[in-house]
């Protein structure tokens, strides 16, 4: 995994020993720093009237500190490696979710649900395409009957052209 | 004695065929929408509201209440089976419940959740019947300083939800607080961290967060595994809890019920605090705590009892103070007001048929739910034997429809996708989502009350130690922190000496 | 209802789109509410929607689009197709306060909306906790003048009608208060009843039960005239606070560009619905009065309120941070 260039002063080499902690720490630092900087946009206020910036600034400051601590720890203590990401299946699934969001207003419940199911079905390489199509149709109709028919949600079933 | 005869009077009202029918309809519908991820009781009650115009106040409230606690039962099913908490109070259930399901023990988990909920619900009915006025008075006394300190206590203790690293758990709580602070600031109207997106001006909804970090993240994690490793393939040992399960869970159910009955009176966060306080207590009193987090039945029994007791007890602030603990209850208040009844201190004496009828119907409803849910356990367990390749597209579809239905806002679906990607990465780094949800729900309340407390006290922070409830919570937090810190200090010192 | 709906849906599944007819409405009508379910605006919308469904024989659905001080719902309403099938129920806060309070409101009443009819009006009251020494408006004003900014007043939130009335009262009387916004009227009422802070300006319906139980007392009604239901409450104006008076109203709008004959039909039908006995009863249960108006009357009212509120907001220097 990621390794830092070694210092040549002979003592302990700087190396990420606990990748999970290192990456988690990095996430917390970035997330915390983002919110800390962003919260400077809002007034800090005073002790009587705390501004909208004060509380998030303190919280994100502590978070950043914890992130730094985790990164340090990850350089000292040994820990687990990060298991590989299933980029293909997760990418396809998340794209399917996004597509659902894009389709639901213009295309209605049936088409968007069908698309979501079929597309995400491809994420799992074992499944057969015909099965997925059938599943997509089934779930789409089931959703329309259940959510709009029985529960009565105000979602259009078909496109409104 | 008088209360008992009033309860009998309520029972007569609740047992009228009309009210029984509406109670059953509510419970059934509630279970259905509770099971569906994302479709909560709020949406359902909102849609059914016009339908209640034609009913009297008692049947209307009995039905809506049935939807509310029916959804609690249904929600635990989804939490256990597919790791999706429909409401914040079932987040804790996912921790051990889902692990049990993966080990083929979904049946006992669902069974104990139903039984625990029933016991808790029955007990809570008596709490509501006997202690409503004094408890309402206590809830009324809770000022902003007290709420703040209670939230501090809750958040400080929330790290115990995580089974892994303490630092990561604390950091996740803070991440949750920051995510919760997105949106419109109550105190100033300022819109924070919305990055110019109008869809973020109301903040991220709980449904969005739960679907992203639990439902969809879990699907992504499961998709990594080869076919053989899926939930479905775990051997199903037994469908209902064994006598041994019941014996182990009984004290947990009792403790959970008690905790839920106390914390449930707090409007806002009561049921959530109850469920996780119960979990925390179990973790502390258990002889073999090593099992928590990896499928301990007590980790299902206690929080499920607590959140159901809490859900029922939260009718006290709703009916007697007009304080809704959650959006569903806000709608119930609306339904009552349309009928010409304003919830408030007088409602018990002015509308006894409504108050006692509702209480009695809650007990009947709980019985119906038990009868309804135990046979369903077998069906749900069978659902898990559906191949995952067929199950997960359905989970995604239900999550997406649920998210969209909760706001009619396509952007919420995009936010889910982004958060799910983050959640997936965080799982990879061993960062657990449960503490984050707690921060997300409690954090904004903590900030709001902190700022309000400072405003009302004109900048004098001593209110936090001079108000008794607040001082008590802070002292407990401090003691707890010391208790956690001392052993680890000692360990560190020991370790240092060994070197 | 479920079975019928299920049947209806199955049929709808087979017929992808409806046929356009000459008469309005020939398909479901939507009312956008820029608030979460459960609030008084939402209740008003649902009662009205149920009645219109009955009158029109077409589903009238309420769609909640809460968030961002009502901006999300109002923007959605502004962007809807101007055909009368997407209406918006806005409050005095959305229509007359926010445009003056926020520098860049994402919608404009003139550019984006056509008024249809006013829908509901709710009385607001000034209340004090039972343990406070205040019995009249004068007591409150004197106490606030003796300790400027040290009297806390709870309201249902930033930029709501109670907030504006508080600023207005300060401006006219010269007494300074500390505004403490809550997330809605319920928690604010309970805070005053629980002695967390001494005063509140809130919807009369929301505090009624605490008044009855003796937890709080009503100091004044915030409307310009005394209440029909509670004529014993003095108004601010008669207590010497000149001109200050207002209430929490809501009104129905269509997107600008909706055909005038459709607007006229909706306005007439809404007027009819709001005069129905059951609607009046449901509104009054929820502490509101049904107040149908013509589009012109509504436009006049909006103009008047906007001008006076803008002046107050400017003089009192109220700003979101």
* Nearest Cα residue to B42 out of B75, B71, B80: B71
C111 and C252 assigned to the same domain? yes
* Distance (Å) from the alpha carbon of B464 to chain C's nearest alpha carbon: 13
User: Which residues pair with residue C251 across a beta bridge?
Assistant: C90, C118
C215 and C177 assigned to the same domain? yes
The verdict on C36 touching A (C-beta cutoff 8 Å) is no
Q: Do B338 and C282 touch (CB under 8 A)?
A: yes
A93 and A122 assigned to the same domain? yes
The angle at the Cα of B122, spanning B322 to B85, to the nearest 5 degrees, equals 70
The verdict on C230 touching B (C-beta cutoff 8 Å) is no
A94 and A38 assigned to the same domain? no
Q: Look at residue C90 in the predicted model and tell me its pLDDT.
A: 95
The verdict on A101 touching B (C-beta cutoff 8 Å) is yes
**Boundary residue ending a domain (A54, A83, A112):** A83
| Domain span including residue C84 | 29-121+247-316
Q: If you write DSSP's letter for every residue of B156-172 in order, what string do you get?
A: HHHGGG-SS-HHHHHHH
Contacts of C226 (CB under 8 A, 6+ apart): C233, C234, C235
Whether residue B332 contacts residue B52, with contact meaning beta carbons closer than 8 Å, is answered with: no
Q: Look at residue B104 in the predicted model and tell me its pLDDT.
A: 86
Residue A36 lies in a domain: yes
Q: What are the backbone angles phi and psi of residue B240, rounded to the nearest 5°? A: -115, 160
**Boundary residue ending a domain (A83, A109, A140):** A83
- Give the closest of A149, A150, A154 to C61, CB-based: A154
- Give the closest of A83, A97, A120 to B416, CB-based: A97
Residue A112 lies in a domain: yes
**Total count of domains within chain A:** 2
C206 and C255 assigned to the same domain? no
Q: Look at residue B294 in the predicted model and tell me its pLDDT.
A: 87
**Structure-token pair, residue A9:** 């002063």
Whether residue B96 contacts residue B299, with contact meaning beta carbons closer than 8 Å, is answered with: yes
Spell out a b/e string for B299-320, using b for 16 or more CB atoms within 10 Å of the CB, else e.
bbbbbbbbbbbbbbbbbbbbbb
A19 and A79 assigned to the same domain? yes
Residue A3 lies in a domain: yes
Q: Look at residue A161 in the predicted model and tell me its pLDDT.
A: 60
pLDDT digits (tens, 9 = 90+) for B127-141: 999 998 888 888 888
Q: Look at residue C127 in the predicted model and tell me its pLDDT.
A: 96
Is the pLDDT score of A2 beyond 50? no
Q: Look at residue C321 in the predicted model and tell me its pLDDT.
A: 59
Whether residue C244 contacts residue C253, with contact meaning beta carbons closer than 8 Å, is answered with: no
Q: Look at residue C12 in the predicted model and tell me its pLDDT.
A: 47
pLDDT digits (tens, 9 = 90+) for C134-154: 999 999 999 999 999 999 999
A78 and A97 assigned to the same domain? no
Q: Do A155 and B429 touch (CB under 8 A)?
A: no
Q: Do A145 and C6 touch (CB under 8 A)?
A: yes
Distance CA B97, CA B296 (A): 8
The verdict on B448 touching A (C-beta cutoff 8 Å) is no
Residue A159 lies in a domain: no
**Total count of domains within chain C:** 2
Whether residue B106 contacts residue B236, with contact meaning beta carbons closer than 8 Å, is answered with: yes
Residue A130 lies in a domain: yes
| Distance from the Cα of residue B309 to its chain's centroid | 11
What CA–CA distances, in Å, run from A14 to A64, A73, A75?
21, 12, 7
Q: Look at residue C21 in the predicted model and tell me its pLDDT.
A: 35
Model pTM? 0.88
Q: Do C47 and B409 touch (CB under 8 A)?
A: no
Chain B positions in Cβ-Cβ contact with residue A140 (cut-off 8 Å): 397
The verdict on C37 touching A (C-beta cutoff 8 Å) is no
End-to-end Cα spacing for chain A: 53
Q: Name all chains with 3 or more CB-CB pairs below 8 Å to chain C.
A: A, B
Q: Searching chain B, which residue's CA lies closest to the CA of residue C107? A: B198
A140 and A68 assigned to the same domain? no
* Distance (Å) from the alpha carbon of B436 to chain C's nearest alpha carbon: 23
Distance CA B206, CA C188 (A): 23
- Tell which of B67, B265, B266, B322 to mutate to test the C interface (max C CBs under 10 Å): B322
Distance CA A35, CA C206 (A): 38
Q: Averaging pLDDT over each range in A27-31, A74-78, A80-84, which range is the top one?
A: A27-31
**Structure-token pair, residue B407:** 């706001």
Residue A156 lies in a domain: no
Distance CA A155, CA C49 (A): 17
Q: Do B428 and A83 touch (CB under 8 A)?
A: yes
**What CATH number does the domain containing C53 carry?**
3.40.190.150
User: Can you list the residues of chain C whose pLDDT is less than 50?
Assistant: 1-3, 7, 10-21
Q: Look at residue C1 in the predicted model and tell me its pLDDT.
A: 44
Task: Give residue limits of the domains in chain B.
Answer: 2-463
A146 and A74 assigned to the same domain? no
Q: Look at residue B137 in the predicted model and tell me its pLDDT.
A: 86
A144 and A100 assigned to the same domain? yes
A66 and A91 assigned to the same domain? no
**Structure-token pair, residue C43:** 């209740």
Residue C251: helix, strand or coil by DSSP? strand
A40 and A54 assigned to the same domain? yes
pLDDT digits (tens, 9 = 90+) for C32-81: 999 888 788 888 999 999 999 999 998 898 988 877 778 888 998 999 99
Q: Do B184 and C69 touch (CB under 8 A)?
A: yes
User: Which residues pair with residue C122 across a beta bridge?
Assistant: C248, C288
Chain B positions in Cβ-Cβ contact with residue A108 (cut-off 8 Å): none
User: Which residues pair with residue C87 across a beta bridge?
Assistant: C31
| Percent residues over pLDDT 70 in chain C | 93
Whether residue B311 contacts residue B123, with contact meaning beta carbons closer than 8 Å, is answered with: no
A23 and A65 assigned to the same domain? yes
The pLDDT confidence band at residue A24, using thresholds 50, 70 and 90, is: very high
**Structure-token pair, residue B36:** 């569906």
Q: Do A124 and B398 touch (CB under 8 A)?
A: no
Neighbours of B94 (CB within 10 A): 26
Q: Do C1 and A159 touch (CB under 8 A)?
A: no
**What CATH number does the domain containing C143 carry?**
3.40.190.10
Residue C8 lies in a domain: no
Q: Name all chains with 3 or more CB-CB pairs below 8 Å to chain A.
A: B, C
Q: Do B346 and C213 touch (CB under 8 A)?
A: yes
Q: Do C16 and A52 touch (CB under 8 A)?
A: no
The pLDDT tens digits along chain B (499 residues) read 588 899 999 999 999 999 999 999 999 999 998 888 877 788 888 888 888 888 889 999 999 999 999 998 888 999 999 999 888 888 899 999 999 998 889 999 999 999 999 999 999 999 999 998 888 888 888 899 999 999 998 888 777 666 678 899 999 999 999 999 999 888 888 889 988 887 888 889 888 999 999 999 999 998 887 654 555 445 666 778 899 999 999 999 999 999 999 988 887 778 888 998 899 888 888 876 668 888 899 999 999 999 999 999 999 998 888 888 888 888 898 888 888 888 888 888 888 999 999 999 999 999 999 998 888 888 888 888 888 888 899 999 999 999 998 888 899 999 999 999 999 999 999 998 988 988 998 899 999 999 999 999 999 999 999 999 999 999 988 987 887 767 665 555 555 554 4
Distance CA B365, CA B220 (A): 37
**Boundary residue ending a domain (A83, A102, A137):** A83
- Tell which of B197, B339, B452 to mutate to test the C interface (max C CBs under 10 Å): B452
* Longest Cα separation, chain B: 78
C195 and C282 assigned to the same domain? no
Residue B357: helix, strand or coil by DSSP? helix
Residue C70 lies in a domain: yes
| Domain span including residue A101 | 87-150
- Give the closest of C6, C61, C63 to A150, CB-based: C6
Q: Look at residue B162 in the predicted model and tell me its pLDDT.
A: 67
* Distance (Å) from the alpha carbon of C16 to chain A's nearest alpha carbon: 6
C86 and C129 assigned to the same domain? no
């Amino acid at each position: 995994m990621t390794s830092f260039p070694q210092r040549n002063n002979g003592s302990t080499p700087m190396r990420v020993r606990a990748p999970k902690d290192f990456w988690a720490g990095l996430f917390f630092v970035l997330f915390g720093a983002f919110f800390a900087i962003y919260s400077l946009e809002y007034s800090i206020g005073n002790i009587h009237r705390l501004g909208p910036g004060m509380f998030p600034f303190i919280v994100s400051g502590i978070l950043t500190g914890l992130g730094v601590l985790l990164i340090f720890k990850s350089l000292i203590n040994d820990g687990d490696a990060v298991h590989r990401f299933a980029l293909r299946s997760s990418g396809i699934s998340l794209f399917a979710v996004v597509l659902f969001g894009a389709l639901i207003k213009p295309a209605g419940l049936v088409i968007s649900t069908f698309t979501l199911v079929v597309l995400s079905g491809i994420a799992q390489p074992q499944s057969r395409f015909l099965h997925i199509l059938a599943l997509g149709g089934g779930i789409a109709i089931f959703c329309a009957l259940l959510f709009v028919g029985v529960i009565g949600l105000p979602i259009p079933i078909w496109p409104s052209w | 004695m008088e209360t008992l005869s009033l309860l009998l009077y309520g029972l007569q009202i609740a047992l009228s065929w009309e009210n029984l029918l509406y109670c059953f309809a509510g419970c059934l519908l509630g279970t259905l929408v509770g099971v569906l991820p994302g479709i909560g009781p709020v949406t359902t009650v909102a849609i059914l509201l016009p339908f209640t115009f034609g009913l009297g106040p008692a049947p209307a409230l009995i039905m809506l209440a049935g939807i509310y606690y029916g959804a609690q039962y249904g929600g635990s099913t989804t939490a256990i089976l597919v790791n999706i908490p429909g409401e914040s109070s079932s987040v804790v259930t996912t921790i051990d419940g889902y692990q049990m399901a993966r080990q083929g023990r979904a049946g006992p988990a669902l069974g104990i959740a139903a039984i625990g909920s029933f016991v808790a619900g029955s007990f809570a009915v008596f709490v509501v019947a006997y202690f409503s006025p004094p408890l309402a008075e206590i809830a009324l006394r809770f000022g902003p300083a007290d709420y703040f300190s209670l939230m501090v206590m809750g958040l400080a203790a929330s790290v115990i939800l995580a089974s892994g690293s303490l630092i990561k758990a604390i950091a996740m709580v803070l991440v949750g607080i920051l995510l919760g602070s997105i949106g419109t600031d109550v105190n100033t109207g300022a819109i924070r961290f919305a990055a110019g997106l109008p869809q973020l001006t109301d903040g991220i909804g709980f449904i969005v967060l739960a679907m992203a970090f639990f439902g969809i993240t879990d699907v992504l994690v499961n998709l990594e595994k080869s076919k053989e490793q899926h939930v479905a393939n775990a051997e199903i040992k037994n469908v209902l809890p064994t006598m041994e399960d019941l014996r182990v869970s009984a004290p947990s159910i009792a403790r959970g019920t008690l905790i839920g009955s106390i914390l449930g009176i707090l409007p806002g966060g009561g049921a959530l605090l109850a469920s996780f306080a119960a979990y925390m207590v179990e973790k502390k009193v258990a002889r073999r705590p090593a099992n928590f987090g990896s499928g301990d039945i007590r980790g299902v029994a206690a929080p499920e009892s607590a959140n159901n007791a809490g859900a029922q007890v939260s009718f006290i602030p709703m009916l007697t103070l007009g304080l809704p603990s959650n959006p569903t209850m806000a709608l119930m208040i609306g339904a009552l007001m349309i009928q010409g009844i304003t919830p408030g201190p007088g409602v018990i004496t002015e509308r006894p048929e409504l108050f006692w009828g509702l209480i009695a119907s809650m007990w009947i409803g709980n019985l119906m739910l038990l009868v309804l849910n135990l046979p369903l356990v077998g069906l749900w367990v069978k659902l898990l034997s559906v191949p995952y390749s067929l199950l997960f597209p359905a989970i995604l579809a239900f999550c997406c429809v649920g998210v969209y239905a909760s706001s009619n806002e396509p952007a919420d679906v995009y936010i889910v996708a982004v958060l799910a990607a983050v959640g997936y990465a965080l799982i990879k780094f061993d960062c657990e989502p449960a503490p984050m949800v707690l921060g997300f729900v409690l954090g904004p309340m903590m900030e709001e009350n902190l700022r309000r407390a400072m405003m009302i006290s004109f900048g004098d922070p001593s209110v936090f130690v001079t108000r008794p409830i607040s001082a008590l919570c802070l002292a407990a937090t401090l003691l707890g922190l010391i208790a956690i810190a001392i052993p680890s200090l000692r360990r560190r010192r020991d370790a240092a000496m060994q070197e | 209802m479920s079975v019928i709906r299920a049947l209806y849906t199955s049929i709808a599944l087979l017929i992808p789109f409806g046929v356009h007819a000459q008469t309005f409405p020939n398909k479901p009508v939507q009312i956008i509410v820029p608030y979460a379910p459960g609030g008084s605006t939402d209740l008003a919308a649902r009662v009205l929607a149920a009645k219109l469904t009955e009158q029109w024989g077409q589903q009238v659905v309420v769609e909640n689009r809460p968030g961002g001080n009502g901006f999300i719902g109002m923007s959605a309403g502004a962007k809807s197709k101007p055909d009368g099938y997407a209406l918006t129920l806005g409050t005095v806060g959305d229509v007359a306060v926010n445009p003056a309070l926020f520098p860049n409101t994402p919608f404009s009443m003139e550019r984006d909306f056509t008024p249809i009819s006013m829908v509901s009006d709710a009385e607001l009251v000034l209340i004090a906790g039972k343990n406070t020494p205040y019995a009249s408006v004068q007591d409150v004003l004197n106490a606030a003048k003796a300790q400027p900014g040290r009297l806390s007043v709870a309201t249902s939130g930033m930029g709501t009608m109670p907030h504006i009335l508080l600023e207005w009262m300060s401006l006219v009387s010269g007494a300074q208060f500390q505004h403490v916004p809550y997330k809605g009227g319920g928690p604010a009422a309970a805070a005053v009843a629980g002695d967390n802070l001494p005063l509140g300006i809130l919807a009369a319906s929301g505090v009624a039960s605490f008044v009855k139980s003796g937890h709080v007392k009503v100091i004044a009604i915030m409307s310009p005239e005394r209440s029909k239901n509670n004529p014993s409450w003095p108004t601010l104006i008669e207590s010497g606070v000149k001109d200050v008076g207002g209430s929490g109203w809501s009104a129905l709008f269509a997107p600008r560009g909706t055909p005038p004959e459709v607007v006229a039909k909706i306005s007439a039908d809404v007027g009819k619905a709001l005069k129905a006995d059951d609607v009046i009863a449901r509104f009054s249960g929820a502490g509101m009065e049904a107040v149908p108006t013509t589009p012109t009357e509504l436009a006049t009212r909006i103009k008047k309120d906007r001008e006076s509120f803008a002046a107050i907001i400017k003089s009192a220097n109220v700003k979101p941070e």
